[in-house]
Amino acid sequence: GSAAAATDPYAALARASVTEFRSAWDAYRRLAWGRDELRPLTGAGSDFFIPGSTLGLTIVEALDTLYLMELDEELDAGVQWVRDDLVLGQDAPVQVFETIIRLVGGLLSGHLATKDTVLLDRARELADRLLPAFTRSPTGAPYRYVNLATGAVSGKENHLAEIGTCITEFGELSRLTGDRKYYDAAKKALHAVYERRSRLNLLGTGMNVETGAWTGTTATLDPPVDSFYEYLWDGWELYRDEDLRTWYSTLTAAVLEHLTERRSGRLWFRQADMRTGAATGHAQSELTAFYAGLLAQSGRVAEGEAYHASWAAALRSFRLPPESLDYHGMRALDPSYPLRPEYVDSCLFLWLTTGKELYRRRAAEMFRRQKQYCKVVNGYTVVRDVTARPMKLGDLTPAYWFSENAKYYYLLFARARRFDYRSNYLTTEGNVLRGLR
Ligand SMILES: O=C1NC[C@H](CO)[C@@H](O)[C@@H]1O
Ligand SMILES: [Ca+2]
């Protein structure tokens, strides 16, 4: 290779990131092609959205990763499956949030990568089937489920992340189709939550979308709230909607005032009563590790770096991040590791924001541990208990692994020719909506 390759310490990791992706992708193609997800130990497929049916989840989630890795034959096979075999009008309820971030987002990034208009048509058809969840809601906050064939809605008690994580996928659809109804529905949902914030500008965890009553009054960054905050900032970043920046700034100031906790010099985010601010818990989900990247992207670089350092310290106690930990004693509350991407998600965006090699080194360490503990004959599998020796493995390759982990490692190590490292946007599911070349 060129002289540069000889001196690039990440060239080997770049090649390895593609090799590891292919081990899982080839196993999926061989054993579960067209199914939502792969069970790598049993070598079977599994259903994510509708029992006994498929929406081709892993194929749709992998489309832009295949494009970035220049695996164009594989990409063509995936697009062909969407054109020939993806059936959307299924007479069954689907979870609106998961369908938007995974399928609408995956179809849109696949369209932006390939310019294939069928992928855009499918994204629009799917969004039109999901819209009744928003338009039938008295508050504008969407119902949790909608039947893709009949438009029947259900699940009036919904969570904040599920209510508020759609404005970038829906906004992109409005931009590409010229129809603002998608953006407007997503913004109305965000506002339905924002206008019910407490006097302290704190939010709860869930809402009755018919009455607007809070169903959970604990203020937290953990799921099921997490990406609500992410999409306020992202919506401002993509569409320069001043309302979204105001809502993000107001709510983030309250989070930093009432939820930050320093423990043994480490920065964490506790649970509190949304009305009084009184501390009510000190658990921390691994999913909240995304917040380190969001803080840095939204101008709070020091806090973002400090928070990522807390998770790097946690990784020195645990070989893989537990799903949830008690940061008062660094005890695993949920010892599973379902191949979560958030720690590496933040490595990528802290590296892009600060330029510090530290974040590529942390990502490389996580890549090595994922390979050491989660790699099996048919690709990668989840871990049921990271504290057991040897680790107890589960039997699933989550579709987000193809859209997130694998993509983030590649972008961090490979100097991807098809990615604009200076100007880009990735959704909470890792779908690239800006910056594909
Ligand atoms: O925002 C999300 N939450 C859960 C998954 C990854 O942990 C994934 O669907 C997405 O990143
Ligand atoms: Ca996410």
The closest residue, in CA terms, to atom 11 on ligand 1 is: 429
CA of 165 to the centre of ligand 2 (A): 10
**CB of 340 closer than 6 angstroms to any ligand 1 atom:** yes
* Nearest listed ligand to the Cα of residue 398: 1
**CB of 106 closer than 6 angstroms to any ligand 1 atom:** no
- pLDDT tens across the length of the chain (437 residues): 455 556 888 999 999 999 999 999 999 999 999 999 999 999 999 999 999 999 999 999 999 999 999 999 999 999 999 999 999 999 999 999 999 999 999 999 999 999 999 999 999 999 999 999 999 999 999 999 999 999 999 999 999 999 999 999 999 999 999 999 999 999 999 999 999 999 999 999 999 999 999 999 999 999 999 999 999 999 999 999 999 999 999 999 999 999 999 999 999 999 999 999 999 999 999 999 999 999 999 999 999 999 999 999 999 999 999 999 999 999 999 999 999 999 999 999 999 999 999 999 999 999 999 999 999 999 999 999 999 999 999 999 999 999 999 999 999 999 999 999 999 999 999 999 999 99
**CB of 405 closer than 6 angstroms to any ligand 1 atom:** no
Identify the pLDDT of residue 1.
Answer: 44
Identify the pLDDT of residue 6.
Answer: 63
Identify the pLDDT of residue 435.
Answer: 98
**CB of 156 closer than 6 angstroms to any ligand 1 atom:** no
**CB of 400 closer than 6 angstroms to any ligand 1 atom:** yes
112: left (phi over 0), alpha (psi -120 to 50) or beta: alpha
Identify the pLDDT of residue 2.
Answer: 52
Identify the pLDDT of residue 4.
Answer: 54
Task: Tell me if 275 sits within 8 A of 198, measured CB to CB.
Answer: yes
**CB of 429 closer than 6 angstroms to any ligand 1 atom:** yes
CA of 3 to the centre of ligand 2 (A): 37
The closest residue, in CA terms, to atom 10 on ligand 1 is: 429
CA of 399 to the centre of ligand 1 (A): 10
The closest residue, in CA terms, to atom 6 on ligand 1 is: 340
Ligand 1 atom nearest 223 alpha carbon: 3
Task: Tell me if 92 sits within 8 A of 145, measured CB to CB.
Answer: no
Task: Kindly indicate whether the ipTM for this predicted assembly is greater than 0.95, answering yes or no.
Answer: yes
Ligand 1 atom nearest 340 alpha carbon: 7
Closest CA to 170 of 222, 133, 207: 133
Tell which one of 49, 349, 404, 431 to mutate to probe ligand 1, the residue whose CB is within 8 A of the most ligand atoms: 404
Q: Let me know how long the chain is.
A: 437
* Nearest listed ligand to the Cα of residue 285: 1
Q: How far apart are CA 402 and CA 26, in angstroms?
A: 12
148: amino acid identity, one letter:
L
Identify the pLDDT of residue 3.
Answer: 56
Partners of 94 in beta bridges: 146
Q: How far apart are CA 41 and CA 422, in angstroms?
A: 40
**CB of 227 closer than 6 angstroms to any ligand 1 atom:** yes
**CB of 341 closer than 6 angstroms to any ligand 1 atom:** yes
CA of 5 to the centre of ligand 2 (A): 32
**CB of 287 closer than 6 angstroms to any ligand 1 atom:** yes
Judging by beta carbons within 10 Å of its beta carbon (0-12, 13-18, 19+), is residue 262 exposed, middle or buried? exposed
- Spell out the SS3 assignment of 65-109: HHHHCCCHHHHHHHHHHHHHHCCCCCCCEEEHHHHHHHHHHHHHH
Residue bearing tokens 């599998």: 381
Neighbours of 316 (CB within 10 A): 9
